[in-house]
Structure 1
Amino acid sequence: MAIPLSVQDLTIAYQKKPVLKNVSLQIPEGKLIGIIGPNGAGKSTFIKGVQGLIPVAAGTVEIYGKPFKKQRSLVGYVPQRESVDWDFPTDVLDVVLMGTYGRLGWIRRPSKKEKAWALECLEKVGMREYADRQISQLSGGQQQRVFLARALAQDATIYFMDEPFAGVDVATEKAIIALLNNLIAEGKTVLVVHHDLQTVSEYFDWVVMLNRRHIASGPTEKVFTHENLQKTYGGKLQFLQQSSMLAAGEE
């Protein structure tokens, strides 16, 4: 069976201080995977490191058995919304068209075919009517949908998404999870950095638990246990569980 992502002894450091140390894991194909852990655990660092977006101190990363540089066209990425300059003067359609550049290169201009595909991707996330809108004029949830449409436009095989549910309303969150499940139904593999423990069992069929090192990974029903959560979150676990219970009560 093909392995979408294989990581061996991955170590990433900032100013010689390890943020992730000796992480080794393999990700199965066709799964919706949640990457969980406390703040500062290295979740975002992990998905940036495997894509070569930040320097890696040691270790190897393979996408379908080959180095990332040779498989770049197979990978789609949705960064944290806070990391994007939303004041950049461009409209929604142009943002989504950026997802086609991997196939076109930076010299060729998008044709009618690419524009039609970009509009189709916007349709999938419920944003086609906003195609001519400046991205700075969108709400947080709308901006997130646009970046999901850009990822869809890449027509990737494996997707990395950094907290796509952060700061969005309930309707947008449900729309996003439905979209991700559709990708899984098409045979794609999706890895999602996620912070809400309450929805892990509902959303994901596989989890990766990190806290500067690899704690556990596997099917959610087997790995998402109190013992592994305690290893991952330590003393923060009880506070997180109480916060989740309060949030559920408010809803």
Structure 2
Amino acid sequence: MFVFFKKMEPISVGDRYAKAKIEEPNLRLPKALLKPPTELSDDLSYLKIFEENTRKAQQLAEAVASGAKLDRKVYRIRNKELVKAIGEEYEIMKLIHRASKATIGLIADAETNLYSHSYLDLLGTVEEVQTAEELILDEILATYSSVSFPVILMPPTVYHDQMIIPAQKVVHIDGIYGSSYVRMEMESGAWIKVGKNPGGSGGEKLVNIFGPRENVIKAMWLIQSVICEEY
């Protein structure tokens, strides 16, 4: 069995933004953003809110009254990507907030903490939210090849499945498709995380896969195709 990936072509800036995110409405998250961070618990908790304008809520109301459109986007993001847009002492995210004027919230709960994910909450006018989103993506995409990168921003609620694979096959996957499985993730549109198999032998690895259901199924097919190969 052979696994064929699409030929990598140059991607325009606009297409990079589109390919780096998957949007989907989600009503589980709290409606209010402008509130103090709370103690971390099983419930959704704001870990950090970037908003320096004490009159932000009033200004948004005035902007809407003047014809501007209010927007709010909430995404799931892996912590390993989020740190690239935060910077030391939150300096990068502070600059993104100031440049975009969007209110930016970082949220977590028990489930996201378990898998090293967070929620990214953007609130403002349509233009402010779009600017914040693009500036965040710019920081993260700069760490990848211009033609090969995973989905950075996922819907808040994603499908999750697992696979157990022989430890020696992880080396084969990594050697063919590169570290962090970037090409596999780009092809499938899912996130792939390999770790220890709790309760299993040292010869096995547990693969966690996240994303829209069809993307997760495709990622599992790609992984299964690779581990069935003989090297």
Superposition TM-score tier, normalisation by shorter sequence: under 0.3
Question: Which TM-score applies when normalising by structure 1?
Answer: 0.25
Question: Which TM-score applies when normalising by structure 2?
Answer: 0.26
Instruction: State the structure with bigger RCO (CA 8 A, min sep 6), 1 or 2.
Output: 1
The structure that has the greater radius of gyration is: 2
